[in-house]
Amino acid sequence: MSRVGQLVATNKSALQKYMSIDVPDADKTKAMYVWIDGSGENLRAKTRTLDFVPRSPAELPVWNFDGSSTGQAEGSNSDVYLYPKVIYPDPFRRKHDKLVLCETFKYDKTPHETNLRHTCAKVMKQVESQKPWFGMEQEYTLLDLDLHPFGWPKNGFPGPQGPYYCGVGASKVYGRDVVESHYRACLYSGVMIAGTNAEVMPSQWEFQVGPCEGIQMGDDLWVGRFLLHRTAEDFGIVISMDPKPIPGDWNGAGCHTNYSTRAMREDNGIVEIEAAIKKLATVHDEHIKCYDPKGGSDNARRLTGQHETSAITDFSAGVANRGASIRIPRQVAEDGKGYLEDRRPSSNCDPYAVTEIICRTTCL
């Protein structure tokens, strides 16, 4: 019998009794290795005990996992290697326990096809003199265990969109406990969380990460997502990154990407911003293929030209226009410098793929 849709919960007060146990050896560290699986969307994690407190990823051992269970290998040759890349403090176990963001490598020690961080890091190294900064706005939807939007009537729909965006009050926002807990977890771990808000569709929220330079953008967003899933787990809530979780007259979910180079941030940087937009216009289709894990088919359900989106087949840009592919914020136009916002990436995009292709197009 499937347990999906049933209330599956444990006694959290009993958990605290065990979490408060002092570990005799002060140098024992629990390191949770985190990686992206073969879907390009989901995260996996497992923990090992270390006899020391790691200070850098280079101190950590390479590990492996069963890739046949994650869509990353066949059963006859199932081992996939985990190469530690970034260490974050673990907000759930605390003390000196760590979260370890890893890259995946195949049996021959070459990067796995799903390891998009590897090529992104190379591109960011090539363009580091241009100081690319990113800020990504991660939208997501809270679901019950039956995969129905959290807080929605079970046999109907809430009232039309309008009062929910940045709303306050029990009839306008659902699940704020998860949002506040996630915010604290990000701050503890060192993820560059910039803010959060309730979104246009009820039970939909957003958190922003940035500004981050180069490869840190992808690292911090992926760990921010991991912390969100892990936090919601404690509340019995499912996190959906689907770009159009509810068909019909409801907003979809994106991952709007704010981007600038040093030249864009300097006086008269608007000239550089406009030059970048011209380059982006010439490779619209190529970018769309990189902006969701399924090569554009997920995003096609969201980018319809309605609900604050441009049509997926069109490229457009405008000042303060949330219906355009690229938005130049009003303040940027007035200041003559700043950044642009690419509104095309979907909520389930891989930030490594998004940031890499933006830098390839505008900087290389």
Position 4 pLDDT exceeds 80: no
Same domain, 103 and 61: yes
Asked if 338 and 332 count as a contact pair (C-beta separation under 8 A), the reply is yes
| H helical segments located in the chain | 12-19, 116-126, 176-189, 216-234, 262-265, 270-282, 284-290, 297-300, 330-335, 351-363
Same domain, 151 and 294: yes
Same domain, 245 and 143: yes
253 CB neighbour count, 10 Å cutoff:
26
Asked if 175 and 142 count as a contact pair (C-beta separation under 8 A), the reply is yes
In a domain, 109, yes or no: yes
Which of 8-17, 76-85, 157-166, 266-275 bottoms out in mean pLDDT, i.e. has the lowest? 8-17
Total number of domains in the chain = 2
- pLDDT band at residue 1, thresholds of 50, 70 and 90? very low
Asked if 332 and 324 count as a contact pair (C-beta separation under 8 A), the reply is no
In a domain, 359, yes or no: yes
Cα distance between residue 357 and residue 364, in whole Å = 10
β-strand partners of 149: 143
* Span 98-126, pLDDT tens digits: 999 999 999 999 999 999 999 999 999 99
Q: What is the number of residues in the chain? A: 364
Cα distance between residue 290 and residue 295, in whole Å = 6
Same domain, 42 and 108: yes
Pairing of β 133-143 and β 204-213? antiparallel
Structure tokens at 55: 């200070």
What is the per-residue pLDDT for 85?
A: 98
Cα distance between residue 184 and residue 190, in whole Å = 10
Cα distance between residue 120 and residue 330, in whole Å = 30
Same domain, 94 and 147: no
- pLDDT band at residue 10, thresholds of 50, 70 and 90? confident
Same domain, 225 and 326: yes
In a domain, 186, yes or no: yes
Cα distance between residue 154 and residue 151, in whole Å = 9
Predicted TM-score (pTM) of the model is: 0.96
- CA-derived radius of gyration, the chain: 21
* Span 36-73, pLDDT tens digits: 999 999 999 999 999 999 999 999 999 999 999 999 99
In a domain, 5, yes or no: no
What is the per-residue pLDDT for 5?
A: 52
| H helical segments located in 11-108 | 12-19
Same domain, 174 and 282: yes
Same domain, 305 and 234: yes
β-strand partners of 197: 206
Structure tokens at 201: 């569709």
Range of the domain at 61: 23-114
Position 341 pLDDT exceeds 50: yes
In a domain, 290, yes or no: yes
Q: Specify the CATH number for the domain of residue 40.
A: 3.10.20.70
Structure tokens at 208: 């922003």
**Nearest Cα residue to 349 out of 34, 35, 33, 39:** 39
Asked if 252 and 60 count as a contact pair (C-beta separation under 8 A), the reply is no
Asked if 315 and 281 count as a contact pair (C-beta separation under 8 A), the reply is yes
Same domain, 215 and 82: no
- pLDDT band at residue 8, thresholds of 50, 70 and 90? low
In a domain, 15, yes or no: no
In a domain, 45, yes or no: yes
What is the per-residue pLDDT for 2?
A: 44
In a domain, 81, yes or no: yes
Average pLDDT along the chain: 95
β-strand partners of 208: 137, 195
| Share of residues in the chain with pLDDT > 70 (%) | 98
Cα distance between residue 94 and residue 73, in whole Å = 33
The residue out of 114, 147, 168 marking a domain boundary is 114
Same domain, 223 and 184: yes
195 CB neighbour count, 10 Å cutoff:
12
